[in-house]
């Protein structure tokens, strides 16, 4: 039987998911991060102050970064880029949430509770109407909701079973079958997760729009986002069409040897969704520990990114003193594409997120703020935005403009792009094999920060 091109593309996109789902981990709770590893356990800062952003010279005549004095309020930034391992935790949470929701809804339809065996163990937790707040919410909102499952809580204390021989009953098998592809849809007849189902929903308040319409109801400015979270592993093939990158496509996201390498193949919307997940994950853990919540994690503004890369030094060209790209020991100071080839710096592709060769203690104290992977920012790209943005915490946002600013350059870029002032952009729905991100959050005093 001949396969159509569309079917082949689908098979290639889902190739890695078999290996991904084969890894079974203990699930103690939706946001049980225990001791976070990677960039999220170390944030650098606070950074704040007044500096001059923009380029000292303009070797290519781009003219999109004129010198501009700005002031930045205090913020913290990830020491390194978000890793595959960290982003994979996000994907697994979405996978598990969807699976548990399907199990709970079927258990509800069957009239089962947590007291029952089989799929009943995954039933929604009972509402605690003994609590005044829960009772009020139930009687005044849930009873009148069109969604019969609204407000119900999932049971995260029961582990999911991923191996078919360990399924507790036929109803469980029915649900698990619904999240996997049919065997005829896979390239080798093995079980593959249908990663297109992995969508993360979150809401945010559009304060800027609300400020322009103060007489409207606040609920009118609550925005809902639904984001497919699985990275585009095909980016390795699409970005380098006439190149042998099959191994990077099949292994980079899921294989443990790349755990501590930067996540790539995620677009701007996916990076923002990860920030929301990270905020919820960490603060839910802190709430359980009786600790205060920390400010929301987010993508850095363009000005924040440049301030961190410069460490406030308006005269730097790179995140280190001088224009020399080579250490005294002859190693390059960043992972980029030197004139003498991709591997001249010791790396062909991306390097580990905390590779000591690319740490910049002299100024930014960050890993790979120059090179490795370019990084999404929260800012919309406009070549003239420096001319009209505020000098106080500048940030240009245009929801109608799909161009989002990326900074820092990558492993495949020439030295010009790893300059601290160089601006570049990509469309927000584009996922590239050389673009990742790191997160920031507002600074709070040490006694309130965990």
Judging by DSSP bridges, how do beta strands 440-442 and 68-78 pair with one another?
A: antiparallel
With a pLDDT cut of 70, the percent of the chain lying above it is 85
Residue 404 lies in a domain: yes
Site of tokens 């905390």: 354
The per-residue pLDDT for range 367-420, each reduced to its tens digit, is 999 999 999 999 999 999 999 999 999 999 999 999 999 999 999 999 999 999
Site of tokens 């600074």: 443
Site of tokens 């070797």: 59
The per-residue pLDDT for range 303-338, each reduced to its tens digit, is 999 999 999 999 999 999 889 999 877 789 999 999
236 burial via Cβ count (<10 Å: 0-12, 13-18, 19+): buried
Considering the chain, what is the average pLDDT of its residues? 87
pLDDT at 14 over 70: no
The per-residue pLDDT for range 240-283, each reduced to its tens digit, is 999 999 999 989 999 999 999 999 999 999 999 999 999 999 99
- With CA atoms as reference, report the closest residue to 75 among 37, 107, 48: 48
| Spatial separation of the C-alpha atoms in residues 313 and 318, rounded to whole Å | 10
pLDDT of amino acid 15: 39
- Other Cβ atoms less than 10 A from the Cβ of 195: the count is 22
Number of structural domains in the chain: 1
Read off the CATH number of the domain in which 338 is found. 3.90.1580.10
Residue 240 lies in a domain: no
Element (H, E) at 173: helix 170-179
pLDDT of amino acid 448: 78
Per-residue CA distances from 332 to 53, 335, 412 (Å): 25, 7, 14
List Cβ neighbours of 365 (8 Å cut-off, separation of 6 or more).
44, 79, 311, 359
- With CA atoms as reference, report the closest residue to 278 among 83, 421, 50: 83
pLDDT of amino acid 19: 37
Residue 386 lies in a domain: yes
| Spatial separation of the C-alpha atoms in residues 391 and 185, rounded to whole Å | 54
| Spatial separation of the C-alpha atoms in residues 436 and 39, rounded to whole Å | 13
| Spatial separation of the C-alpha atoms in residues 205 and 223, rounded to whole Å | 6
Beta carbons of 156 and 185 less than 8 angstroms apart: no
pLDDT of amino acid 331: 85
Band (pLDDT 50/70/90 cuts) for residue 190 is confident
Which domain range does residue 391 map to? Answer: 31-83+260-448
Q: Which two tokens stand for residue 3?
A: 């396969």
255 vs 31, which has greater pLDDT?
255
Residue 406 lies in a domain: yes
pLDDT at 216 over 50: yes
Residue 266 lies in a domain: yes
Residue 288 lies in a domain: yes
Residue 162 lies in a domain: no
pLDDT at 53 over 60: yes
The per-residue pLDDT for range 166-179, each reduced to its tens digit, is 999 999 999 999 99
DSSP H stretches of helix in 290-444: 302-310, 385-388
Q: Please write down the HEC assignment for all residues of 36-98.
A: CCCHHHCEEEEEEEEEEECCCCCCCCCCCCCCEEEEEEEEEEECCCCEHHHHHHHHHHHHHHH
Sheet with 435-436: strands ordered across: 424-427, 403-407, 374-380, 435-436
Residue 348 lies in a domain: yes
| Spatial separation of the C-alpha atoms in residues 195 and 181, rounded to whole Å | 9
The per-residue pLDDT for range 97-151, each reduced to its tens digit, is 999 999 999 999 999 999 999 999 999 998 766 667 666 666 665 555 566 676 7
Q: Which two tokens stand for residue 70?
A: 């700005």
C-alpha R_g of the chain = 24
């Amino acid at each position: 039987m001949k396969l159509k091109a569309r079917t082949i593309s689908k098979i290639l996109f889902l190739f890695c998911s078999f290996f991904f789902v084969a890894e079974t981990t203990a699930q103690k709770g939706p946001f049980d991060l225990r001791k976070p590893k990677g960039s999220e356990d170390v944030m650098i800062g606070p950074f704040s102050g007044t500096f001059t952003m923009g380029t000292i010279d303009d070797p290519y005549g781009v003219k999109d970064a004129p010198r501009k004095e700005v002031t930045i309020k205090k913020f913290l930034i990830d020491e390194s880029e978000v890793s595959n391992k960290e982003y994979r935790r996000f994907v697994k949470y979405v996978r598990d949430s969807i699976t548990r929701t399907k199990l709970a809804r079927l258990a509800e339809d069957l009239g089962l509770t947590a007291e029952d065996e089989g799929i009943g163990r995954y039933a929604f937790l009972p509402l605690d109407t003994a609590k005044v707040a829960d009772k009020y919410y139930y009687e005044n909102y849930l009873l009148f909701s069109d969604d019969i499952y609204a407000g119900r809580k999932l049971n995260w204390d029961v582990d999911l079973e991923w191996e078919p021989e360990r399924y507790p009953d036929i109803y469980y098998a029915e649900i698990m079958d619904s999240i996997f592809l049919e065997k005829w849809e896979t390239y080798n007849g093995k079980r593959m997760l249908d990663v297109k189902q992995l969508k993360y929903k979150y809401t945010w308040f559009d304060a800027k729009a609300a400020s322009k319409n103060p007489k409207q109801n606040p609920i009118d400015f609550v925005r809902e986002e639904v984001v497919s979270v699985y990275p585009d592993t095909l980016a390795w093939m699409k970005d380098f069409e006439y190149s042998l990158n099959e191994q990077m496509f099949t292994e980079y996201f899921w294989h443990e040897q790349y755990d501590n390498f930067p996540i790539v193949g995620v677009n701007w919307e996916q990076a923002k969704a990860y920030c929301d997940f990270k905020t919820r994950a960490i603060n839910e853990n802190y709430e359980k520990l009786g600790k205060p919540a920390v400010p929301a994690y987010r993508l850095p503004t363009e000005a924040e990114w440049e301030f961190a890369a410069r460490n406030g030094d308006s005269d730097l060209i790179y995140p280190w003193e001088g224009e020399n790209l080579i250490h005294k020991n002859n190693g390059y100071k960043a992972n980029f594409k030197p004139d003498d080839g991709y591997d001249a710096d010791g790396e062909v592709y991306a390097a580990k997120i905390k590779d000591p060769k690319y740490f910049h203690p002299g100024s930014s104290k960050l890993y790979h703020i120059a090179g490795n992977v370019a990084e999404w920012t929260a800012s919309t790209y406009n070549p003239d935005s420096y001319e009209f943005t505020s000098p106080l915490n500048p940030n240009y946002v245009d929801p109608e403009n799909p161009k989002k600013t990326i900074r820092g350059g990558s492993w495949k870029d020439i030295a010009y792009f790893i300059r601290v002032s160089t601006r570049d952009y990509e469309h927000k729905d584009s996922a590239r094999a050389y673009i990742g991100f790191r997160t920031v959050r507002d600074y709070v005093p040490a006694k309130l920060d965990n």
